[in-house]
Each structure stands twice: as structure tokens, then as C-alpha cells.
Chain A
């Protein structure tokens, strides 16, 4: 969490303000797409092509986001139908695996109530119908009431989770309090195992072997004492903070949760009026997200996951699976659990609809601007393109390989690059003083002057450092603590033990970049009359 909060201050807020400001400046001159805006505000063709990433990211993420959106709708309907009354966490996990087609490629295409295919079809059509007909205003109005309701529900769920205790009497150490410790304790107690390769001895942490609570630490200590190849070590907060992977994960989480370095804000802010307040808008959006993520989600999902699945289950659940595996178990412990489960996942689905619609707008604005076509033509082209991509992600559902691979490369590579491009455009090309004047137009509050230094120096250095650290560790396999080379599974999938699905997934990303680049090359980006005064 320390890395997360530092990332929030050093990259989250600075890039948020820079992106809002760049977008509004571009929009003032008639540009709404990331290539158009970055090309105009920097007056450099190279930045127009770097802006291609700002279209690619939301388009590619949309391809798998609708899949997850369909999980939410499917879970809501299944709660309503009474199909979610599980007796154990493994039952809930089996349902989730079957529902999303984890077992084999093509399994997700079923149209039954307990299969995601039908829900995905409904979600995909709904998204494009809303955006094609311009009916999303209704959804937005509904969400003004639905989102506070979702927060109220999250508070109820939080109270239930914090009072769960240890739900499995056979495993009293799997308790909510230890789950909170797993998440918040600054020092980690981890089991290491000795291995000898080519005569060289190395001690490696065993995945899922972290211990919280006096009893489990005592048991682990006894186990390590009896085996010379095992050792229980305490990893201090400082040594965790020295791990570049931690910073990369924190930065990726910031990008995803705040939608910065994402390509969405830059397009939406281009529709703002000259005197709209981007400083307080950005800060209010950020603080609302942080409150929900740290104050509600952070105290709910992981501790509940620890209580039901234990540390090994939490460590192996992956980014997307934990909530879908664990929350049904929490609802099963609540009175009127089916109602609360339905309400929670349905409201989550509505929130996801607004997010997915916002992911389409950068692509739509780009096609309109580059090809000088109208919105409906643009929606049709984007609809066909994303349908193909989404079909690919959903068909190759075994182990959610396609989704996981695309998510890894987009989050770790493209978002970091786009965020770096945006902060350099704001602080170095426009200039941080001029940028500060621009961002403060219409602002009710002042950004502290220290952020000039942060935006000009700290943010770019931070982003470039974590990018290089990621490249050397995850891509080239170097171990910064001096051990043998160890490649990430994503690199193994591409170059060492080629996995066709992983290779095709990267191909989908590259194909999207190529398509957007070709359209950019042939595009007719031109400054137009100011269209902002009548905008929202």
C-alpha cells in the first residue's frame, strides 16, 4: 500500500491533471482523439503517432472488458434464479470456472444460464445499441442513483465480511483478521526453499507460502526447523519496496483504477468548456475511486478471500477471479443473500456498462476525426473490429489465457508508455509553467507548487525507471537481487515455449496498433472551429 500511495502522488494525480488539461486544450481547437490532441498540443508529428497508443489501449481493453461485464450480468441473473447457494468456496470456484469457460477453449460460448456466452451476446449488443442510438444519457442518469446505492451495498458487505471471523472451523487460522494482516502487515513471513542448479545454491520463495497469525507462523517455524532445505524468512517493508515488480504492480493498479494513461480521459476532457474545472474534477474523481478501492474493496475482497480460500487460494486466484470466487460465499452467509448478490452484481454491471461505453468513445472520436466520417459509420467500423477481438478473447477462454496475456502487455507496456508520453508532453514540451496556467483555468483550487517539480522530474523519472526495471526483469529475465535469470511466464509463452494463444493475443494488440497507425497516417487531422462553448 505504501508503493501504491507513492505511485498515486507521483504518477496518478500528476498524469490525471496533465491528461485532463491536454484533452481540454486539444478540444478547444477541435481535436478529440489522442493522436489529434497530442499532435496538436506538441506540434510534433512523432507525438501524433505516439497518440496511437491512446486509441489502442481502450479498444483492446474493451475486447476483454465486455467479457468481464458479462460475468457481472450473469452472476446477477444467477443470484436471482437461486443458482448461487454454494456450500463451500471450491463449489463457488467450480461454478466460476465453468461459467467463464476456464476448462477448455470454446467452453465460454454456451448459451445456458450457467454459461457466459448468452450474457456476452446481450452485453455486446446493448453497448453498441446504446452508443449507436445515443441513449446512454439514460444510463448515466440512472447511475447517478445506482452508484451511491452500490456504495451503500458495499458498506453492508464490508460489515458482513468484517464480522465473518473464521468461517471454516477446521482452519481457524483462515480468519478475516489474518486476512487483514495478510494485506496490511508491513513485514511478510515467507517460506523459502533451497535449490541447487549447476552447483549454485539459491533460496527461492515458495508461492503461496506466506504466514500470518501466531499459530501458523509457529507451525511453519517447526516445519522449517525439521527440513534443512526450508527456511522461514521475514521480508521487511524496505526490502519489499526495493522490488521493482511491486512498483510496477502499484503503477499498473493506479493506471487501471484511475483510468490515467488509458486514452479515455484525454478524449472526454476534449469535450469540456474552457472554464470547466479540471483540477477539482480530477481530484474528486481520484478521491472517490481511492475511497471505494482502499476503504471498501480493499477491506472486503482480499480479507474475505483469505478467510475462505487461505493464503494459497488468494495468491493463485489472479487479478479478476477473486471477487467472483469469494463474494458468493459472503452472500451465502447473509440473510437475503440472493437479493444482495443480485443487487450487488447488477449494479456492478451497470457501472461496467458506463465504463465500457467510455472505452468506445476514444476509438469513435478517432475514426470520426481521422476519416471525416459521422458517428454511426464510426460506431459500425469499431463495432465490427471489437466484435472480432472480443470473439477471439472469449473463444480462447482456457485458463483465461487470451484475456490474461492481452491484459499483461497492455497494462505493463502500453499504459506506462502512454503515461510517459503524456507527462513529457505536458511538463517538457508545453512546459510545466505554461501547463500549470492551462490546468488552472476555471479551477476552484490550486495544485500545490511542489507538483511542478513532481510533474517535470519525478513523474517521468519514476515511469522510465519502473519501465526499465520491468524490461530487465520481466522481459530479459534478469534477477536484480543477483540470482539466476528467471523469465516471466508471459515471455516463456512467446519465446521459450511458444504458446499459440499467447502469440495470437499479442498479435491482436499489434494488429490494432497497425490499424490505428495506418488510419493515423492517412488521416486528415485539421484544426477546426472551437466547438466547446456548447459542450456539456
Chain B
């Protein structure tokens, strides 16, 4: 937990370096130490392996006028020391996961990362994660795009490539972690929860004593356990699903005399991103994708590609920074109110638009929708497959309607806005309607199905000679599941065509 140490006039934050044994944590720390002009302490080592932690103190940078004192700590990477690792991660304000990115180590590294993401997923305010993909000079290093694809399945995590043996990328990962830690500090400060006073452990020996004492008290000496399997880390119920990632260069380019267009910038000032920590990691991912929004005829800004959508309404531009901040807070409240109903991979940010103005953007990760599921179902050759697909889409749509109407926001329930995540409760995957819109709840179940499915069913009847058979199959499915009211509506709808 960060603290304002008034006796020394510094802000103390802890950056924890996590990662499997031999992935390069200690090497990274030593490389960083040589660059920053400080030293690494390793309280206990055996055969060059860290048994408790490596420790490095570094004072640099400023936070609201106070120097930032970074306690940089590595965990022991050996699986039998998992308890010590977990304890250290629990004290982190940001975590850098160092992984060996060579092909033979890759899968194990990703499992490790999943576990780290799960460990920090319950912390509030969130603890940001940075993945330092190490050993990038190896011939069999996994391709960067493949790493990104894997990260998408885990959580939004910033990716920095490194070759720790010659210090490449180590400072970059560290500075990014510090920024994520400062976002956490800001969140704590805003909630009036930022501690003051000396840190619990001011030096390596303090931390060592605490860990030893903890182990003696619990009598649970480091258990010989394998890393726990990650479970439900990408599910909508996981808080981890709200985490995010990545990085690049100056982000504003003039497109006209009137307004600067937006390019994602992970280094933008705190207070302009929601959610604060995950939003920055998400921007870190987006900035390298090269998405350039353009103006629509209506005057909105719109950009998409590489699995993301950016959108800003024409009116969402503010000359007054306070007004812009207030609007960002409104959007944050709106998202928080429906967090259970909406997909992960979202951020709202204020970006410079030129002449001191700020533009509000929402960034949303593209997810599969019911529209795609329907299209796939209608393309099936077998009548039964078509009927099955149709009934699934109808059931899911109505389940989404029920779920969305339970929240306070008016989330549009359409084929395009309901996600198609098999096995999970339906989530809203569309752009978030702006705050303070009057509530316009979706129509009754039958009307909703008619609005969404009738045009497709009419087209189906026109092109398929086996339409009666499809109807019969739907009837059969409906008979087999009499409690499913959605099927009854679908049946009625097909009969009324």
C-alpha cells in the first residue's frame, strides 16, 4: 500500500517483479540498478536463486511535489515458494511480470501470467500489470502478435519487450509500472484512503523479518505446490475481466485547423482516463494498432480496426477542463452502474482536441455478437441446424433483455449489441449510450423478437424451400423445452410470417 512518508517527504510505492524461475527478474533488476545508479540487495540466495526476494530502492520522479521512493522487489520464482510470491504480490502497487518469451517456455509463462492476473484482480484500487516479455533476442522467441493474442484471452496487460541481459526494455517497463502505481495512488488519494507515515518495511531487512515472522506464525511454511490453475479469468464475472494494456509516440496530429484527432496515448496525464489503471494499460495496447478515427457525416468521430472501436459524439468536446472532468465522472458512474451487464475492454478518456479543448472518447473492444451467430445459423444447410441456431439466438436475446432491464441504464438490446459468449450470461457489447439519456426500455419479448428477427425470417422463408421443415424443428425444440418462453415467441413469430 502506498504511503506518504512525511518524515522523509516522499511518496513510497512498491513495484513487484513477478515471473517464473529463470525468466530474468533478477537480471532485469540488476540491469535497472546499473542504469539508475543504485544497487540490488538479495537477502538470501541459494545457488544464485532468490529464496525470499531481491530488493532495490530508488528515489526518482515527483508526485505532487514529493519525490517518489520506489521499493522494487522481485518474488522468488520457484513454484515451491508460491506463498512468499503471493505475499509479495499482495503488497504491490504495480506488478511487472517478467516472462521468458521463448517458445518452449511460452505456455508455462502464460499460465503464470494468468495466475498473477487473478491474484491482483481482487485488489482495490486495481493494481496495474505490465508484461515484460524477456529474451526477445532468442531465435525461438514467440512472435509479438501471438503474445498479444494470448494476452487478449487473459486480461488487459501492457506489453514491453526486453532483453534484460543488455538492459533493453527494462527501464521502459519500470517507468510504465511507476505510472500505473501513481494512478493507484491518485485513486486512493481521491477516496481519502492514502496512508501517511513511514512504510511498513523501510528496508530489505524489515521485509525479510516480516516474511520470516509471518511464516513462523502461520506454521505454513512455503508449501510445495504447483501454481494454481487459473479459473474463470476471462469470464464476465471475474474482476480480472475489467483489467487492461500498451504504448508509443506523440499522439496528436493536426487534421484540420479546427480539431486535432485522437491517437491513443498510454502516457497521458492521470485523471483523464477511466478506469485509471486498467485504462492506461488498455491505451498501451491500442496505441500500437495505428487506428485513426475520422469524422462521420453527422460530425461524430469514429475509428475501428484490430478488434477495437473508438467513438466520440460531435458534441463531446469541452472548452472548460472542469466541465470535461465532470463529464468523465458521469461516464465513469454510468459504467460502474452497469458493470455486470457490459463487456470488459472499455475505457473512457479525455484527449486534447487543440486550442485547450478536450474531447471525450469511449473505446470499446469488439466482441462477437448475436448478429454473427444468426448469420452463421442461417447459412447452415441442415434445417435442424438452422432451427437450433435460431432458437439459441432468440433465447439469448430475450435473456439479454431481462438482464439489461434489471440495471439502471437503458442498454439497447439488439442483435448487434448483445454478445455471443457461449456459456456466460449475455453481456452488452455495444457502445455505451451517453449518460442522462431518458430511459427507453426495450419492448415486450414478442415485439423485441419481431423487431430483431422478423426481417431475417422473411428472407429465410423466401430463399429456403425447406422453411416448413425449419418451422417444424423449431416446434419440436419448443415442445422439448416448454419452460423456455422465448421459444414460444419464436414459434408464434415464424407462424405469423
Q: Do A and B come from one complex?
A: no
Q: Which residues of B contact A (CB under 8 A)?
A: none
